[in-house]
Amino acid sequence: MSKKLEHEDILNLFREHPGDFVSGEEISQKLGVSRTAVWKKIRLLRDLGYSIDAVTSRGYRLAASPDALLIEELRSGLETRIVGRELVFFDETDSTNSRARELGDQGHPDGTVVIADRQTAGKGRLGRTWASPPGVNIYTSVLLRPPILPFDGPQLTFVSAVAVALAIRDVSGLSPRVKWPNDVLLGGKKVAGLLNEMNAETEGVRYIILGIGVNLNMEAAQFPADLRYPATSVALEKGETVSRLAFARTLYRHLDRLYLAYLDRGFAPIISAWEELCDLVGRPVEVDCQSRVIRGTVEGLDSDGALLVRTDDGVQEKIMAGDVRPL
Ligand code: BTN
């Protein structure tokens, strides 16, 4: 009777008997632990937000699980092959990308996921910070080890953009769009940000971190005052809150499916999925590329993730970096 009882053991037992009572005796016998250990664990699970009924002579019943980003809940509902193979949850961390990098350096497998309730130093692009208050949003980083050359690394950014947009669509019924190179918009405002980092040598990629921040249930007052772009959250656009747990599961499912497609068939299926979600294909735009401004019609994505724009005098421009504005 000295076995260490994990949350997961007892939750799995409840899940085998959905809606039914399981006696303390049965739990204790099946898991090889004392009745006292069972009771203590039940108390702990309640503290974590699980609602567990206890009725004398019948035992315990899982009445409801919390919509918190609890690892047990996420694990039990994941229908993925690679993404989420290992799941690491933090109540608080500086940046999930930094944690994922450490796991990458330590050799954790393709598909390892880090997710946090809040970040104290969430990283945005161009050295900016990413607002990461607790209890409302998604902050996650996925460690991938694709067998590709460093040159192709940026292609994975489009995998995360498409996965985020489809997950938002599925849980909210809204129509998010992707904006080149790596934003996801709702109603023209930024709802998610992607920060991908790569560790590579000349012969190949060691790992890629897909850093994903989604403003799910953030309220208007929680956005930083100094934002340089219009931003929103799924809840603000939809008018009601969205389950973080349901969103995270949906996101990992799409990431897994798209990553498998990428490993199997390359960048082509990702390009077509991205182009379908991008309003600007076929439309006139202005691209600010720092040294010059290009005007033309968006033709789509090139095989390296560059934006292809046909200028008014018929030249096809391949844009590696810049700010795109519809005209
Ligand atoms: C952007 O500036 O648009 C990118 C924001 C990326 C934020 C996410 S939140 C999870 C992951 N961890 C970080 O520190 N940043 C990314």
Q: Is 212 in the pocket of ligand 1 (CB under 6 A)?
A: yes
Asked whether the beta carbons of 218 and 137 are under 8 A apart, the reply is yes
Per-residue model confidence (pLDDT) at position 3: 59
Per-residue model confidence (pLDDT) at position 181: 86
Per-residue model confidence (pLDDT) at position 68: 66
From atom 16 of ligand 1, which residue's Cα is the shortest distance away?
211
Per-residue model confidence (pLDDT) at position 69: 62
Per-residue model confidence (pLDDT) at position 66: 75
| 213 C-alpha to ligand 1 centroid (Å) | 5
Q: 7-16 and 35-47 are packed helices; what angle lies between their axes, rounded to 10 degrees?
A: 90
Q: Which residues of the chain have a pLDDT value below 50? A: 1-2
Residue of 101, 126, 212, 232 best suited for mutating to test ligand 1, as the one with most atoms within 8 Å of CB? 212
From atom 11 of ligand 1, which residue's Cα is the shortest distance away?
211
Q: Is 211 in the pocket of ligand 1 (CB under 6 A)?
A: yes
- For 81-109, the pLDDT digits (tens) are 999 999 999 988 999 999 999 999 999 99
Q: If you write DSSP's letter for every residue of 202-266 in order, what string do you get?
A: TTEEEEEEEEEEE-SS--GGGS-TT-SS-B--HHHHHSS---HHHHHHHHHHHHHHHHHHHHHHT
Alpha carbons 263 and 241: distance in angstroms, whole number: 35
Prediction pTM value: 0.83
Alpha carbons 50 and 30: distance in angstroms, whole number: 21
Beta strand 293-301 pairing with 284-288 = antiparallel
Residue 206 identity: R
Place of tokens 């999925």: 273
Alpha carbons 220 and 104: distance in angstroms, whole number: 35
Alpha carbons 118 and 139: distance in angstroms, whole number: 7
| 90 C-alpha to ligand 1 centroid (Å) | 16
Q: Is 133 in the pocket of ligand 1 (CB under 6 A)?
A: no
Could you give the 3-state DSSP secondary structure of residue 302? Answer: coil
From atom 9 of ligand 1, which residue's Cα is the shortest distance away?
213
For 111, left (φ over 0), alpha (ψ -120 to 50), or beta?
left
Residue of 95, 178, 195, 218 best suited for mutating to test ligand 1, as the one with most atoms within 8 Å of CB? 195
Q: Is 124 in the pocket of ligand 1 (CB under 6 A)?
A: yes
What is the dihedral angle through the alpha carbons of 232, 254, 171, 283, rounded to the nearest 10 degrees? 50
Q: Is 179 in the pocket of ligand 1 (CB under 6 A)?
A: no
| 210 C-alpha to ligand 1 centroid (Å) | 9
Instruction: Provide the β-strand partners of residue 116.
Output: 90, 139
